[in-house]
Amino acid sequence: ADRPAPRGPRALAPDLARGTMLLLIALAHAHMYLSGQDVGFRGYARDGSVIDRIVAGLQVTLVDGRALPMFAALFGYGFVQFASSRAAAGADWPRTRRLLRRRSWWLLAFGFCHALLLFFGDILGAYGLLGLLVVGVLRWRDRTLLLVAAGWILAYGAVYALNGAQIAEYGGPADAMATSDPVAAAGGRLALWSVLTVMLAIEVLTPFLIGVWAARRRLLEDLDGNRRTLRITAAAGLASAVIGGLPLALMDSELWTGAPASLAVPAYVLHGLTGLGGMGYAALVGLVARRATATPGRIVTALAACGQRSMTCYLLQSVVFVAVFVPYAGGMGTELGTAAASGIAVLTWLTTVLLAALLHRAHTPGPAEQLLRRLTHGSRRHAPVAARPAKSGRNPARSR
């Protein structure tokens, strides 16, 4: 079995970003469990109350399609950190690549199980697929990384345009979680997941590559040295995300009732492309972490603990939402509106933060993280293979 690299002190900013942004993930997903409503491009009810439509407008502007790029960038960041830790332990590139691929296969399996049992909109499978296909990017030069990231935006935009045209023609993604038979519901979730996994992998490639580039510069570790870059990224990214998201937000929430129908698909594509600005959230959290690193208080510590156990907390969100909303469990998906669903999302996130804080105090990792680590590295009961020095003496995740 491959022995895990020794666990050194973790940088605060990446964990704080993951823990905080899991709130946005909860908000983005909760309304997808509602059913029996006429919905728009982002799956929000068009015929809800005024409060429901205001909440929908705010979430389309600030949440939907904004948290996902940030998490994808953090996934790329973590990809580099994983490879760097293996290099520090003496592993050469082929061994590191093998571990990354093994980890990616297990992420794909986790995603399959998540979709089978709970939620069709799983992201773990897309991360696993991406890790399998592009593990070699860790050997790319910085220039190649950035050129491919920029060029891939065209493919990303094409996927959004195609999806937007489908929604305009056939309607929004309504009632995806409305099936009352558990077996039929599982089959439907897997069918949707198999398509969405490929689409999401295409969607997150650009922020993933940017995350790899950022990790090489330790943007979320050397917070003092990168303060100016973080400020620019936060300001420019979030401004573009808000401005680019407003047209669709106003149309999708029916707050702008006189908009020409011909603007709907372009607004949807603009919303998707400017969602890349959601990476500004990570930069903003980095600036907060810069001030909090020396003496993190209870709130920061709890949020970072949630981020350190982000996969466990992410999966727990789906457990709660299934228990509350779907017809064969709580059945509230046909009774509640967007605002109520978002309130449940906030409470769910807070609960996972408290649970993560308790696990942190007990010095216990998240169950999902612990299982993935064990599956990736194998049983610790076996004698570890002696580490071999990297052939080039160079970190395999470092730019060339």
* 159 has a pLDDT exceeding 90: no
CA dist 289 and 296 (Å) reads 8
224 within a domain of the structure (yes/no): yes
Closest CA to 191 of 207, 202, 179, 180: 179
Mean pLDDT of 10-17: 92
Q: What is the 3-state secondary structure (H, E, C) of 310-328?
A: HHHHHHHHHHHHHHHHCCC
Report the number of distinct structural domains present in the chain.
1
392 within a domain of the structure (yes/no): no
Q: Provide the domain limits for residue 189.
A: 12-377
Residue 125's Cβ-count burial label (10 Å; 0-12, 13-18, 19+) is: buried
Q: Tokens 């919905």 belong to which residue?
A: 39
Lowest mean pLDDT among 6-20, 57-71, 220-234, 315-329: 6-20
The percent of residues above 70 in pLDDT, for the chain, comes to 91
Can you name the residues that pair with 91 across neighbouring β-strands?
none
Other CB atoms within 10 A of residue 52 CB: 23
* 2 has a pLDDT exceeding 70: no
Contact 28, 200 (CB under 8 A): no
Fill in the amino acid letter for 265: V
3 within a domain of the structure (yes/no): no
Mean pLDDT of 38-43: 86
Q: What is the pLDDT of residues 86-145, one digit of tens each?
A: 888 888 999 999 999 999 999 999 999 999 999 999 999 999 999 999 999 999 999 999
In this prediction, residue 282 has a pLDDT band, given cuts at 50, 70 and 90, of very high
393 within a domain of the structure (yes/no): no
In this prediction, residue 12 has a pLDDT band, given cuts at 50, 70 and 90, of very high
Mean pLDDT of 235-253: 95
* 253 has a pLDDT exceeding 90: no
Q: Reduce the DSSP state of residue 39 to 3 states and report it.
A: strand
Other CB atoms within 10 A of residue 117 CB: 14
* 395 has a pLDDT exceeding 60: no
pLDDT at 351: 98
In this prediction, residue 384 has a pLDDT band, given cuts at 50, 70 and 90, of very low
147 within a domain of the structure (yes/no): yes
Angle between helix 264-274 and 227-252 (nearest 10): 160
Mean pLDDT of 349-357: 98
Measured on CA atoms in the order 344, 190, 369, 19, is the torsion positive or negative? negative
pLDDT at 391: 43
311 within a domain of the structure (yes/no): yes
User: Which residues have C-beta within 8 Å of that of residue 394, sequence separation ≥ 6?
Assistant: 87
Mean pLDDT of 245-271: 87
Angle at 346 between CA 341 and CA 351, to 5 degrees: 125
CA dist 182 and 400 (Å) reads 51
4 within a domain of the structure (yes/no): no
Contact 120, 176 (CB under 8 A): yes
The percent of residues above 90 in pLDDT, for the chain, comes to 74
Hey, which bits of 45-143 come out as E strands?
none
Other CB atoms within 10 A of residue 166 CB: 13
Closest CA to 136 of 194, 193, 94, 105: 94
* 381 has a pLDDT exceeding 70: no
* 6 has a pLDDT exceeding 50: yes
* 390 has a pLDDT exceeding 60: no
Distances (CA, A) of 37 to 32, 45, 48, 91, 253: 11, 6, 8, 54, 13
Can you name the residues that pair with 45 across neighbouring β-strands?
39
Helices and strands, counts by H and E, the chain:
14, 0
143 within a domain of the structure (yes/no): yes
